[in-house]
Amino acid sequence: MSRFFLVILLASSIGLRAQVVRKYSNEFLNIGVGARALGMGNANVTSVQGVNSGYWNPAGLLNQKNDLEVGLMHAEYFAGIAKYDYVGVSKLIDSNSVGAISILRFGVDNIPNTLDLVDANGNVDYNRITTFNAVDFAALLSYARKIPQLKGVQLGGNFKIIRRKLGEFGGAWGFGLDAGAMYTYKDWKFAAMGRDITGTFNAWSFNMSEKDIATFQQTGNEIPSSSLEVTAPKFILGGARTFLFWKDRISVLGELNLINTFDGKRNTVVKTNLWSMEPALGTEIGYKGFVYLRGGVGNIQKQLNDDATGYVTTFQPNFGVGIKYKIFTLDYALTDIGDRSIALYSNIFSLKIDFNKKMNK
**Gyration radius of the chain over CA positions:** 23
- The pLDDT of residue 218: 74
- The pLDDT of residue 20: 57
Instruction: Count CB-CB contacts under 10 A for residue 181.
Output: 20
Three-class SS state of 128: helix
Burial 51-61 (b: 16+ CB within 10 A, else e): bbbbbbbbbbb
Whole-model pTM: value is: 0.86
Longest dimension (CA), the chain: 81
What's the rounded Cα separation, in Å, for the pair 338 and 316? 4
Q: Quick one: which of 312, 311, 320, 313 has its CA closest to 345?
A: 320
Written in H, E and C, the secondary structure of 191-243 is EEEEECCCCEEEEEEECCCHHHHHHHHHCCCCCCCCEEEEECCEEEEEEEEEE
**CA distance to 141, 200, 228, per residue, from 7 (Å):** 21, 15, 10
> What are the φ and ψ backbone dihedral angles of 223, each rounded to 5 degrees?
-85, 120
| pLDDT string in tens for the chain (361-residue length) | 333 333 333 333 333 344 556 778 899 999 999 999 999 999 999 999 999 999 999 999 999 989 999 999 999 887 788 899 999 999 999 989 999 999 999 999 988 888 778 777 778 888 888 888 999 999 999 999 998 888 889 999 999 999 999 988 889 999 999 999 999 999 999 999 999 999 999 999 888 777 677 767 777 777 777 889 999 999 999 999 999 999 999 999 999 999 999 988 888 888 899 899 999 999 999 999 999 999 999 888 877 777 777 778 888 889 999 999 999 999 999 987 545 555 567 889 999 999 986 544 3
- The pLDDT of residue 142: 98
Q: Quick one: which of 309, 197, 200 has its CA closest to 260?
A: 197
- Burial of 25 by CB count in 10 Å (0-12 exposed, 13-18 middle, 19+ buried)? buried
- The pLDDT of residue 10: 35
Q: Decide: 89 and 66 in contact? Cβ < 8 Å.
A: no
* Beta-strand relationship, 21-22 and 227-231: parallel
Instruction: Count CB-CB contacts under 10 A for residue 216.
Output: 15
Structural domains of the chain, ranges and CATH numbers in brackets: 2-355 (2.40.160.40)
Q: Which helix (H) or strand (E) holds 9?
A: helix 2-14
| DSSP-assigned states of every residue in 19-73 | --EESS-SGGGGS-SSHHHHHTTT--TTT--STTHHHH-GGGGGG--SSEEEEEE
What's the rounded Cα separation, in Å, for the pair 248 and 225? 60
What's the rounded Cα separation, in Å, for the pair 179 and 196? 8
Spatial neighbors of 26 by CB under 8 A, at least 6 apart, are 136, 138, 162, 174, 196, 200, 202, 231
Three-class SS state of 343: helix
Q: Decide: 332 and 35 in contact? Cβ < 8 Å.
A: yes
Q: Decide: 33 and 44 in contact? Cβ < 8 Å.
A: no
